[in-house]
Amino acid sequence: MNVLVVGGGGREHALCWGLAASPLVDSLYCAPGNAGIAQDAACVPIAVDDTVGLIAFCREKKIGFVVVGPDNPLVDGLVDRLEEAGIHAFGPSARAAVLEGSKAFTKELCARHGIPTATFVRVRDIEQARKHIARATLPLVVKADGLALGKGVHIATTREEALRVCGEMLDGSLGAAGKEVVLEEFLTGEELSYFALVHGEQVLPLAAAQDHKKVGDGDVGPNTGGMGAYSPPPLLTPELEKRILAEIVQPTARAMVAEDRKYVGVLYAGLMIVNGAPKLIEYNARFGDPEAQVLIPRLKSDLLTLLMAAREGVLHKVNARWHDQASLCVVMATKGYPGSYAKGSVIEGLDEAAKSPDVTIFHAGTTKQEGVWKANGGRVLGVTALGKDVADAQAKAYAAVDRIRWPEGFCRRDIGWRALGTRRGAP
Ligand code: AMP
Ligand code: GLY
């Protein structure tokens, strides 16, 4: 079967890497991909929002299955358009992707169906906001309703700050995403990303990972798309996983069916574990990035078979089997990220760094010109290693990082610190 992956970041590289290993795949394409992805799939310069171009390409290449990586095309209905054109595609419809596309929708869904989450109010104008903020407990979490490229969440420690940020969002600082704002209770605990494949009420548990959203060591500085991850997190005991499924994932899958928004795809629950109890922070309608870069290398089962089973509604017929090893991914980014940064700096040493069979380097944003790798984005590489435990995976990942010569790049040195019980990073 010919397969197309839509997207061009580290997550899509991990998906292509996993799919390239499938005996069921004849030709693998990625739109638009990047120079690193081109090592595993044929990249085609079609943008993720070029629905007409993607459908034409699928027809030309007789694509039997499309895997949509990023949130925006899902929320915009790419899977609906592909399926209408008779092209099988993995991912939720626009009606179901609203779980990621509207935080207010998800909060209301949780309220209607008793799914544990932070308490909240929705506000559409500054007067409403002022009233709530005057009596809210601090800190207060201020969230734009819609997709905002990771910039839509602000944790305000004073009422003035909450009111200011909320006012800016309502005034259009984030475009349409902020025309409605959710003000919610601040939860204290440990964060966990949990993944399951879903088709209607069928749920196939996958695995969990922990991301590191802040840019700096010790979880300081601004939020990013994710600076590194590891899996499995020791925090996820079998009891906790049971609760996540019974209290959050399964009720959500049932609720979506009951509300005529049947969910098909991977459901990524961003959770806060508060005194041992899981609470939903947010849903994403796709794999996480960098989480996909640690989950897919641990997967022993055939990735395409699982994704196809999710689309077809036969999740009871498949199993997700995992390697015993742990995996850990260190994201390397261009200095300046998540603020402004320059493009085009030269990266050397990638081949030596990837020499160990336990190490895979996923590319989030690179180009290759006359044999020379260059950075082409904020997050650029995901250096991933498998090891006998998180400590071993961490040591191998940082050993690979240290072989990469890229003076304009940086990474956190403490990925995995929660699992290892120390804020001191790798050797
Ligand atoms: P989100 O984009 O919703 O994942 O939020 C980004 C980050 O903000 C999360 O990963 C959390 O670290 C933090 N956050 C969001 N909502 C809450 C909350 N209710 N309580 C505490 N932290 C939160
Ligand atoms: N790792 C965070 C995300 O994919 O949204």
Residue 62 Cα to ligand 2 middle (Å): 31
Where is the domain boundary, 317, 352, 375?
A: 317
Q: How many domains does the chain have?
A: 4
- Which of these three, 317, 347, 377, is where a domain ends? 317
* Residue 70 counted as domain residue: yes
Q: Which atom of ligand 2 is nearest to the CA of 287?
A: 4
Is pLDDT above 90 for 190?
yes
Look up residue 402 and give its amino acid: D
- Measured from CB, residues less than 6 Å from any atom of ligand 2 are 211, 226, 284, 288-289, 291
Q: Are 197 and 190 in contact (CB under 8 A)?
A: no
Please determine, for residue 129, whether its predicted confidence score (pLDDT) is greater than 50. Answer: yes
Residues 136 and 167 in one domain: yes
Give CA 147 to chain center in angstroms: 13
CATH code, 147: 3.30.1490.20
pLDDT digits (tens, 9 = 90+) for 8-52: 999 999 999 999 999 999 999 999 999 999 999 999 999 999 999
Query: What's the average model confidence in pLDDT over 404-421?
Result: 96
Shortest-distance ligand to the CA of residue 193: 2
Does residue 68 sit in the same domain as residue 164?
no
Query: Does ligand 1 come within 6 angstroms of the Cβ of 53?
Result: no
Q: Does 427 have pLDDT greater than 50?
A: no
What pLDDT digit, counting tens, does each position of 83-92 carry? 999 999 999 9
Residues 253 and 200 in one domain: yes
**Is the CB of residue 280 below 6 angstroms from any atom belonging to ligand 1?**
no
The residue type at 206: L
Report the distance separating Cα 241 and Cα 280, nearest Å: 13
CATH code of the domain in which 257 resides: 3.30.470.20
Q: Whose CA is nearest to atom 3 of ligand 2?
A: 288
Q: Write out pLDDT tens, residues 134-167.
A: 999 999 999 999 999 878 999 999 999 999 999 9
Residue 150 within any structural domain of the chain? yes
CA of 128 relative to ligand 2 center, distance in Å: 31
Q: Whose CA is nearest to atom 4 of ligand 2?
A: 288
Range of the domain at 23: 2-93
For residue 209, name the pLDDT band (cuts at 50, 70, 90): very high
Q: Which residue has its alpha carbon closest to ligand 2 atom 5?
A: 288
Q: What distances in angstroms separate CA 295 from CA 32, 144, 205, 321, 384, one per listed residue?
A: 22, 29, 12, 11, 10
* Ligand 2 centroid distance, CA of 156 (Å): 21
CA end-to-end span of the chain, whole Å? 44
* DSSP H or E segment with residue 305: helix 303-312
Alpha-helix runs per DSSP H in 93-150: 94-101, 103-113, 126-135
Average pLDDT, the chain: 96
Query: What is the three-class DSSP state of 65?
Result: strand
Residue 184 is assigned to a structural domain of this protein: no
Q: What is the CATH number of the domain that holds 409?
A: 3.90.600.10
Arithmetic mean of pLDDT, 260-286: 98
Closest residue CA from atom 5 of ligand 1: 153
Do 30 and 89 have their domain in common?
yes
Give 162 Cα–ligand 1 centroid separation in angstroms. 15
The pLDDT of residue 151? 83
Q: Are 378 and 341 in contact (CB under 8 A)?
A: yes
Q: What pLDDT score does 241 carry?
A: 98
- 317, 335, 358: which is the final residue of a domain? 317
Task: Give the amino acid at 311.
Answer: R
- The reported pTM is 0.96
Q: Is the CB of 187 under 6 A from ligand 1?
A: yes
Contact 230, 209 (CB under 8 A): yes
State the pLDDT confidence band at 422, using cuts at 50, 70 and 90: low
pLDDT by residue (tens digit) across 344-401? 999 999 999 999 999 999 999 999 999 999 999 999 999 999 999 999 999 999 999 9
Residues 54 and 135 in one domain: no
Residue 260 belongs to some domain of the structure: yes
Residue located nearest, by CA, to atom 8 of ligand 1: 153
Give yes or no for residue 270 CB within 6 A of ligand 1: yes
Q: How do residues 222-242 score in pLDDT, each as one tens digit?
A: 889 999 999 999 999 999 999
Question: Is there a domain that residue 114 lies in?
Answer: no
pLDDT more than 70, % of the chain: 99
Shared domain check, 395 and 283: no
Q: Which CATH number does the domain housing residue 42 bear?
A: 3.40.50.20
